[in-house]
């Protein structure tokens, strides 16, 4: 646990865990895709068919993929098949690609803005405040607001590094993903897009968060964990979601704060699904808007409450911060999920087929 948590790396003053985390995902996906390449396409999922490797990559190709400098330190992770087509100038790279200059500059400007905001906010909302007596002298709403601002502040450093990584992949040409269907068609550069900032901060549902935050890792988890935990002929449920979040927690490191956060996130997403089902079942537009706001507020509060564990990492500090707001971000999702078994929205009636006269 000592080595897997990352503490041993920090003793030397250089933390290499980020690069190793990216490398781990690349190695696993490469091995699984090669294994899928030996199977028949019949019965495979769409993602398996798309990324399977029927031929073993050479050592140069393998190490080039694993150690690609544009994404080695902070991601994003991408597929070996895409990398091979890029290096061999096949697929969408067979034709001349458009200039990456403008999208690269956009990513760099975004990175600068994110870092500036983080440097401005971080001294005002330090993590150390959670262990200070002053924090516990505040009232409930003040502490809850500080938790929100702490999570909000921390996210900007991730927005910064992902924007820089996106710029590196775009300028190399690997970030190109083809052309849009609009008229005239526009070049798409979203292979390295790892976050939708407004999508995260204004998420209307916790279900949207994996689609907006750490996008490429979320996609990896969906392809290589979530979908593979679902048995054929069955629908995914909470156990598949919990299993996926547990894998994500272990991948981040064996700190109690990570494990608690990802278990929390599974509860949060499941609770948000319940609220959404209630929202879709309501015909009154006023109640529909009210439930939409409830889902938004629920996501905002529970996300930033849960984020504290991701930041402080230790078991004692995580529980202390949760206890300071009476475990509201844990109790509410559990209550909502349990209510989902009691208050079940009526399913829409299917139109009956007309009998042949």
Q: Which residues are catalytic?
A: 252
Give Cα separations from 73 to 69, 153, 214 (angstroms). 8, 22, 14
The conformation of residue 223, written as its DSSP 8-state character, comes to: I
| Contact (CB, 8 A) for 160 and 313 | no
Q: How far apart are CA 102 and CA 342, in angstroms?
A: 53
H runs (alpha helix) in the chain = 7-10, 17-37, 46-51, 59-66, 80-87, 101-121, 133-137, 140-172, 197-201, 209-212, 215-221, 227-229, 238-252, 256-281, 285-312, 315-323, 328-342
What tokens were used for 186? 């526009």
Helical (H) or strand (E) element with 126: none
Give the CB-side neighbour count of residue 54, counting CA atoms within 13 A: 4
Give Cα separations from 6 to 19, 24, 106, 264, 315 (angstroms). 12, 14, 33, 22, 16
The DSSP annotation for 236-290 comes to --HHHHHHHHHHHHHHH-S-HHHHHHHHHHHHHHHHHHHHHHHHHH---HHHHHH
Which three-class secondary structure state does DSSP give residue 355? Answer: coil
CB-count exposure of residue 177 (10 Å: 0-12, 13-18, 19+): middle
């Amino acid at each position: 646990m000592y080595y897997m948590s990352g503490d041993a790396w920090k003793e030397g003053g250089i933390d290499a865990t980020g690069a190793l985390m990216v490398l781990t995902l690349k190695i696993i996906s490469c091995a699984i895709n090669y294994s899928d390449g030996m199977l028949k396409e019949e019965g495979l999922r769409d993602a398996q068919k798309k990324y399977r490797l029927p031929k073993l990559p050479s050592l140069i190709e393998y190490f080039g993929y694993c150690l690609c400098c544009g994404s080695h330190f902070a991601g994003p992770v991408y597929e070996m098949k895409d990398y091979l087509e890029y290096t061999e100038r096949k697929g969408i790279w067979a034709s001349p690609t458009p200039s990456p200059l403008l999208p690269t500059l956009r990513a760099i400007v975004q990175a600068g803005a994110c870092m500036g905001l983080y440097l401005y906010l971080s001294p005002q909302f330090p993590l150390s405040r959670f262990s200070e007596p002053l924090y516990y002298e505040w009232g409930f709403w003040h502490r809850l607001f500080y938790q929100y601002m702490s999570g909000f502040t921390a996210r900007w450093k991730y927005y910064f590094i992902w924007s820089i990584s996106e710029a590196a992949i775009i300028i190399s040409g690997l970030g190109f993903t083809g052309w849009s269907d609009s008229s005239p068609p526009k070049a798409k550069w979203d292979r390295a897009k790892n976050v939708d900032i407004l999508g995260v901060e204004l998420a209307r549902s916790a279900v949207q968060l994996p689609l907006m935050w750490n996008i490429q890792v979320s996609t990896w988890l969906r392809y290589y964990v979530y979908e593979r935990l679902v048995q054929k002929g069955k629908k995914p449920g909470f156990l598949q979601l919990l299993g996926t979040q547990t894998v994500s927690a272990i991948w981040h490191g064996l700190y109690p704060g990570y494990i608690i956060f990802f278990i929390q996130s599974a509860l949060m997403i499941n609770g948000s699904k319940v609220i959404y089902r209630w929202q879709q079942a309501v015909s009154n537009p006023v109640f529909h808007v009210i439930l939409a706001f409830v889902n938004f507020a629920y996501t905002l509060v529970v996300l930033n409450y849960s984020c504290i564990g991701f930041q402080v990492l230790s078991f004692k500090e995580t529980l202390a911060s949760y206890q300071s707001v009476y475990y509201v971000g844990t109790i509410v999702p559990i209550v909502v999920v349990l209510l989902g078994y009691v208050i079940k929205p009526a399913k829409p009636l299917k139109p009956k087929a007309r009998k042949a006269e």
